């Protein structure tokens, strides 16, 4: 019998129309989108289904939107498919904002609270650094040691740090724009396969996000967080967590901390997981998992057809 981990995607997986087919087919999915709309006091679902893409991609919209799609998929699996999450799934994990979706999936907090926290998180991250002062870049075909060397050298021009250790030779760096520009030049001089700027508006998961970390520390300090029914792997530690206070601290530190996705996958496989199921929009995490460990199975569920196929496989 397969040992499952459910994973939840982060920013960059959004697309106009995501979740729409699911909402049309299942009342349970529609109810999730309504919960998010009600929590935010606006029709975010209209933006999710109809766009425009520029509005959906805005950090303050993309974060709650991606969580909404993930939770819509999960709710359909549970209510229409009869999936017993706690009985069938061993671990939960999410990439950056996806950690909030993972925690909502595990009932550490409800959908409405997750939507409000992610809206605030998106706004705070956007405001932390003036537009144009910070950025991010992806390094492809690089080791962690090489990426650390690149960041150290580039920081002479402006602070540059590893934001995401995604695995499979993919590392994302974050920092001052001058540092990012220098890092790309250094990477090319070192013979790194690819180094390219990412189309993001702020240097996420870097020390430059400290103002946003402070905002989230206050908000999470007031948030009701329960023990999740399935343990969640934390981004900043790559360790299994169930304690509510530790989860709270990890979410605060996650704003400026490194997303340790490669290590998180290794932790999950070390705990016996052999099948990773990406819940929500896109297939980014499934692809990363396959590159990190070709021995495991990785699939994604985002449409009614995906739901049907997965439930038949159980």
- Provide the residue ranges of all domains of the chain, joining segments of one domain with +: 4-128+208-312, 134-201
Indicate if 43 belongs to the active site: no
Q: Are 138 and 194 in contact (CB under 8 A)?
A: yes
SS3 of the chain: the string is CCCEEEEECCCCCCCCCCCHHHHHHCHHHHHHHHHHHHHHCCCHHHHHHHCCHHHHHCHHHHHHHHHHHHHHHHHHHHHCCCCCHHHHEEEEEECCCHHHHHHHHCCCCCHHHHHHHHHHHHHHHHHCCCCCCEEEEEEECCCHHHHHHHHHHHCCCCCEEEEEEEECCEEEEEEEHHHHHHHHHHHHHCCCCEEEECCCCCCCCCHHHHHHHHHHHHHHHHCCCCCCCCCEECCCCCCEECCHHHHHHHHHHHCCCCECHHHHHHHHHHCCCCEEEEECCCCHHHHHHHHHCCCCEEEEECCHHHHHHHHHHC
Alpha-carbon span 149 to 99, nearest angstrom? 28
Q: Virtual CA dihedral for 167, 170, 173, 177, nearest 10 degrees?
A: -170
pLDDT of residue 201: 79
| Active-site choice (13, 45, 70, 96) | 96
Residue given tokens 């340790």 in the structure block: 260
Alpha-carbon span 103 to 95, nearest angstrom? 12
What are 5's strand-pairing partners? 91, 276
pLDDT of residue 123: 97
| Active-site choice (13, 70, 174, 205) | 205
Give me the tens of pLDDT residue by residue for the chain, a chain 314 residues long: 999 999 999 999 999 999 999 999 999 999 999 999 999 999 999 999 999 999 999 999 999 999 999 999 999 999 999 999 999 999 999 999 999 999 999 999 999 999 999 999 999 999 999 988 999 999 999 999 999 999 999 999 999 999 999 999 999 999 999 999 999 999 999 999 999 999 887 999 999 999 999 999 999 999 999 999 999 999 999 999 999 999 999 999 999 999 999 999 999 999 999 999 999 999 999 999 999 999 999 999 999 999 999 999 99
Instruction: Find, among 314, 313, 282, the residue nearest to 300 by Cα.
Output: 282
Domain spanning 134-201: CATH superfamily: Malonyl-CoA ACP transacylase, ACP-binding (3.30.70.250)
Domain 4-128+208-312 listed as CATH 3.40.366.10: yes
Indicate if 206 belongs to the active site: no
């Amino acid at each position: 019998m397969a040992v499952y981990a459910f994973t939840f995607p982060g920013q960059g997986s959004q697309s106009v129309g995501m979740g729409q087919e699911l909402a049309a087919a299942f009342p349970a999915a529609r109810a999730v989108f309504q919960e998010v709309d009600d929590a935010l006091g606006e029709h975010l679902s209209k933006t999710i289904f109809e766009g425009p893409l520029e509005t959906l991609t805005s950090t303050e919209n993309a974060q709650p939107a991606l969580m909404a799609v993930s939770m819509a998929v999960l709710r359909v699996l549970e209510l229409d498919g009869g999936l017993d999450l706690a009985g069938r799934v061993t671990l939960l994990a999410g990439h950056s904002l996806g950690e909030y979706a993972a925690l909502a999936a595990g009932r550490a907090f409800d959908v409405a609270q997750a939507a409000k926290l992610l809206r605030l998180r998106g706004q705070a991250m956007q405001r932390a650094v003036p537009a144009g002062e910070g950025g991010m870049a992806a390094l492809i075909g690089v080791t962690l040691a090489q990426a650390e060397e690149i960041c150290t050298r580039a920081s002479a021009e402006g602070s540059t740090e590893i934001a995401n250790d995604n695995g499979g030779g993919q590392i994302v760096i974050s920092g001052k724009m001058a540092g990012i520009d220098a890092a790309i030049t250094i990477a090319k001089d070192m013979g790194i396969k690819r180094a390219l700027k990412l189309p993001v508006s702020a240097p996420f998961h870097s020390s430059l996000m400290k103002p946003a970390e402070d905002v989230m520390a206050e908000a999470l300090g007031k948030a009701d967080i329960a023990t999740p029914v399935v343990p969640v792997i934390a981004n900043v530690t790559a360790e299994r967590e169930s304690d509510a206070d530790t989860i709270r601290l990890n979410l605060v530190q996650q704003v400026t901390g490194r997303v340790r996705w490669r290590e998180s996958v290794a932790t999950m496989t070390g705990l016996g997981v052999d099948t990773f199921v990406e819940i929500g929009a896109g297939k980014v995490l499934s692809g990363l998992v396959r590159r990190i460990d070709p021995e495991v199975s990785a699939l994604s569920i985002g449409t009614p057809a995906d739901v049907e196929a997965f439930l038949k496989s159980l």
